[in-house]
Amino acid sequence: MSKRILMLAGDFVEDYEVMVPFQALLSVGFHVDVVCPGKKSGEQIATAIHDFVGFQTYAELRGHNFTLNKSFDAVKPEDYAGLYITGGRAPEYIRLDPKVIGYTRYFFEKNLPVAAVCHGIQVLTAANVVKGRTLTCYVAVGPEVTLAGGNYKDVPATEAVTDGNLTTSPAWPGHPAVLREFYKLLGVKIECFK
């Protein structure tokens, strides 16, 4: 049986930030359960496409629908080898759910692998698990990291920062870096063909 990954998402999750890691983790043999507070397996969440098109911040366009494959209330954190927290607009409200906070704290208490991207770090700050940790996130979330006692590291969007069991990236261009680090934390070894 393959290792299981819990992925936290919600309506208006950034399209790439749920689709890409979900498919990438499946491709190396993980079973990935994507959940959203208040929703059941088979229900959908709306995604959003965030892009920089000349404004001071990103513009948000409607993305695809993503079908959840696990009921939120059926989650048992002890069934999972790792946690992946998606970005977009969803983290600002899913972090208000006490179970999201509890699930997140569980992975830190057990020192299990955690990956978070972009605004997903808002779940980490709300769960009070970043104190003393060095991490990155979307630049506008940086002040939250600092206020929560973390050490915010401003890196290019293509990079990841890993500190112990936690790996983070500022945005979806960092998928290759954050997924590579998450694989390492999960004990996955991938060899390139030459």
Whether residue 82 is predicted with pLDDT greater than 90 in this model: the reply is yes
Residue 136's pLDDT band, with cuts at 50, 70 and 90, is: very high
State how far the Cα of 44 lies from the Cα of 36, in Å rounded to an integer: 9
The class of domain 4-186 in CATH terms is: alpha beta
Q: What is the pLDDT of residues 7-54, one digit of tens each?
A: 999 999 999 999 999 999 999 999 999 999 999 999 999 999 988 778
Query: Which structure tokens are listed for 110?
Result: 């057990």
**Average pLDDT of 152-163?**
97
Whether residue 1 is predicted with pLDDT greater than 70 in this model: the reply is no
Residue 121's pLDDT band, with cuts at 50, 70 and 90, is: very high
pLDDT at 2: 65
pTM of the prediction?
0.95
CA torsion angle for 183, 188, 193, 194 (degrees, to 10)? 80
Whether residue 117 is predicted with pLDDT greater than 60 in this model: the reply is yes
Whether residue 57 is predicted with pLDDT greater than 90 in this model: the reply is no
Could you tell me what percent of the chain has a pLDDT over 90?
A: 88
91 contacts: CB under 8 Å, gap ≥ 6 = 10, 85, 119, 120, 121, 122, 123
Query: Which structure tokens are listed for 93?
Result: 């409200």
Angle value at C-alpha 127, between 106 and 169, nearest 5 degrees: 95
- Domain boundaries, given as residue ranges, for the chain: 4-186
Residue 194's pLDDT band, with cuts at 50, 70 and 90, is: low
Are β-strands 13-14 and 44-51 bridged in parallel, bridged antiparallel, or unpaired?
parallel
